[in-house]
Structure formats: structure tokens, C-alpha cells
Amino acid sequence: MIHDLKKIFDIVAQSSITIDGKIIPAAFTIPAKEQGAPFMILAQMHGNEPPGLAGIALAMALSEAGLLAKPVIGAIGNPLAAAQYFDAYLKDPHARQETRDAYRCGLAGDGRLLPDMNRIPVDFMTRDAADHHTRRAQELFTLGQHIWGIADIHSARGNMVCITDHKHDRDLKYTPIRNLLTELAEAISAHASTSVQVKTFKTILTPLPNIKSQTGIEAGRHEAPDAPATAAAFTLALLHTLGITAVAPLEAKEDGVFIRYGVRPRITYADLAHHGVLHGDDKIYMARRCEALASVPERSDTVIVRRPDGHWALQSVAQFSTKPAGEMHYAVYQYDEMEAISKDDVVAVAIPSGVAFHAPESFSGIFVSKSAALYDKDPAVGPWPVTADKIGSVKFCYPCHVGEMKLNLD
Ligand SMILES: [Zn+2]
């Protein structure tokens, strides 16, 4: 599947669009029956997020079949990082997706992590465009002034399928993605400094009067087999609703009901309820209750035991099953994106003290703290295990309050 998406990447990456004499690389005009201002499908604003290319592929297929009424631009947000991502994928397609996490932003020649394409300095238009990041931001802005609407398709480190932002409720008619984040921007800016030095591409576009429609999604795990299909199905529903194609969406029924994920500002490990005194040498592992081998979660390979001397220790599942070092109480466990957590659930445990960290309320987390063993380059993931002195600064997640909501889509 990723090989197929690379073919779409190659077509777009080798194309360019000329606007007012300015050449914008890695953008492709998909021809339509009518002329006029284009709609844009933006993929790979983060290089390691290929599912958005399936949205561009869908528009290309509609065009080929003579079913695209209005022109669409397919664009790669960060062509440098995306090219590096595909190189890494082709070199070792069986390595887990986390090994390619650095291509979210891409790497400089000296191995340095490049800036996030979605963190754009406020004065980017007047800066010297010597570096790729600034130059691409300027190019994307030029595209942004030229289009009437945009779908920005992302994917995630975990199983996150949701609408992250939208300008008009009516644009969500028939969308197959029924999870809707609200207050995401407010939650993110809650801890940002008051003098904002960077913006996202979305916040740069939103005030432009020409942008009549603006929607962003997470289509699932970066390399999950179903994520491209989710991206394509979403794109079809959106293009249909916006009158860009008459082809019917996969689900042509609409009751307006969505699952609302009201995003709250991020919490740290210190915001979890814990009783008992941490040791100076404690390390806090993400964990859940588990008292028997039969109930160890599939993605856990380590359990937490209480040894006969009263200290707590890690033990691999394989070792525990042959020679348990003590009584099993927890499994080391990576909570997934949007996984439901109940009030008072144990979500992390300190080793060796055994101090347990409980969820202070019921929520589903997004941008959840990730295992440092899998993510060694980006401290923003909130890597665990967390040392005792860092619990007040390492992110646990952005908790979401989940409930049903009904939108008026007319
Ligand atoms: Zn992204």
C-alpha cells in the first residue's frame, strides 16, 4: 500500500504550479471539467504521514473518469521530509513505523531534526527563504491565497481517527469520520507563551477571505492498512458535499450525530492522582492493572511485580511465565490515542517504590505520552519512563471529555 502511495507522491513531487510567475514545486493541478479557482488537498505536512496521498489519488481517479467538476490541487506539505520518509521506508519496509518518526519533520545533513512544517514563524513572509522550511511556508501561503478551500490530511502515531478542525459544520455532511475534536486550538495554546512566535498553516489560512472551506483530519495510524481508505472516503464525502464531484459518498445517509471529543489543556504525570512518596531513583512507567498472565494485554511484553521484599520490579512476560519474581499487579502498557480511561484507573506506576498514578477523572487522551524506547528523537512525545524529578514537566496527554453531539449540516 505504501508503495502505491509513493507513486502518487512521485507524481506530485515532480510537478509544479506557476502562480503569478512564481513556481510552486510539489503541487499538481488535477484537471476538471470546469475552470476556476481550485480546491486543495494537502498531504504530508508531516513527511511520515502518507495516508493523505490517498485523498489526492481519489481526486486524480475522479478526474481521469471525467467525474471531477471543479479543479483540485494536490500538494505535498513537506516534500523534503516526505522524500526522506519514503527512502527510509523502501530501505526497510518491515521496520516498525516508529523508526521513521524523525521524518515527521525531516533530518538535516548532520542528523539534526528539522523544524516542524506546521510551526511557522509569524514573520515567515519577510524572512530570507534560504532554508527549506521558510521557503516551503512561503510557497504554501502562495497556494493558500490562490485556492477557495482546503482539506489537510494527517495521520497519527496511534489509532487516531477524527476531524481535528473545520470551518463550517455543513462541510462535514456525509463524512465517514464521526469523531470530532472541539477546542483543540484553545487546549494547545493554554500552555503556550503569550507572545506566540509560531503559527500552524491552518491558523495562517483561516483569516484569508478566499478560504471558504477548511477541514483537517487524522486518518488513523501512519502506516495502518486502513488509514489510506479512511482518507479517501473522507475526501470523497467532502468533494461531494462541496459540489466538486457528483459521485455519491460511501455513506449517503446523514443524521448529524457525531462523537464530540472536547479537548482539555495537557496534563503532566504530576496531574495524575498519586499517593505515597516517590523515591529519588523512581522511574514512572505507563501501565494498567493486570494480575494474571491470561489477561496481559496483547501489546504488553513486560509486567510489574511486587517482590517478596516489598520492592517493585519489571519482569518480561517470558521470564514471568517461567520464573515469576513476585506477584503480578500491572502490565507495562502504552495507552493508545483516544483510548477510554476511567476515573481512578491506574495509568502509570513508579518502580521501585510501587507508587501508582490514577486517572483523576474519566477521559480519552490524545497526543498521549509515548514509550521512550520507540521515540528517542522528539521530547514533545512525553517519553516514558519518567524520572521522579520530571513528573511536573512531562506530558501525559491532552485529556478529552467524550459525548454525543448533533450538528446542523444544512
Ligand atoms: Zn501531522
Q: How far is the CA of 46 from the centre of ligand 1 (A)?
A: 5
pLDDT at 193: 62
Q: How far is the CA of 47 from the centre of ligand 1 (A)?
A: 8
CA distance 212 to 229: 26
pLDDT of the chain along its 410 residues, tens only?
Answer: 899 999 999 999 999 999 999 999 999 999 999 999 999 999 999 999 999 999 999 999 999 999 999 999 999 999 999 999 999 999 999 999 999 999 999 999 999 999 999 888 888 888 888 899 999 999 999 999 999 999 999 999 999 999 999 999 999 999 999 999 999 988 988 876 656 678 889 999 999 999 999 999 999 999 999 999 999 999 999 999 999 999 999 988 999 999 999 999 999 999 999 989 999 999 999 999 999 999 999 989 999 999 999 999 999 999 999 999 999 999 999 999 999 999 999 999 999 999 999 999 999 999 999 999 998 778 889 999 999 999 999 999 999 999 999 999 98
Neighbours of 292 (CB within 10 A): 8
CA distance 129 to 137: 9
Q: How far is the CA of 383 from the centre of ligand 1 (A)?
A: 18
Identify the bridge partners of residue 184 per DSSP, sorted by sequence position: none
CATH 3.40.630.10 segments of the chain: 2-254
CA distance 365 to 340: 7
Q: How far is the CA of 304 from the centre of ligand 1 (A)?
A: 34
Q: How far is the CA of 41 from the centre of ligand 1 (A)?
A: 14
Q: How far is the CA of 56 from the centre of ligand 1 (A)?
A: 16
Q: What number does CATH give the domain 2-254?
A: 3.40.630.10
Q: How far is the CA of 154 from the centre of ligand 1 (A)?
A: 4
pLDDT at 169: 97
Identify the bridge partners of residue 304 per DSSP, sorted by sequence position: 314, 330
Q: How far is the CA of 80 from the centre of ligand 1 (A)?
A: 15
Q: How far is the CA of 352 from the centre of ligand 1 (A)?
A: 36
Q: How far is the CA of 311 from the centre of ligand 1 (A)?
A: 41
Q: How far is the CA of 382 from the centre of ligand 1 (A)?
A: 17
CA distance 106 to 104: 6
Q: How far is the CA of 48 from the centre of ligand 1 (A)?
A: 8
Q: How far is the CA of 156 from the centre of ligand 1 (A)?
A: 7
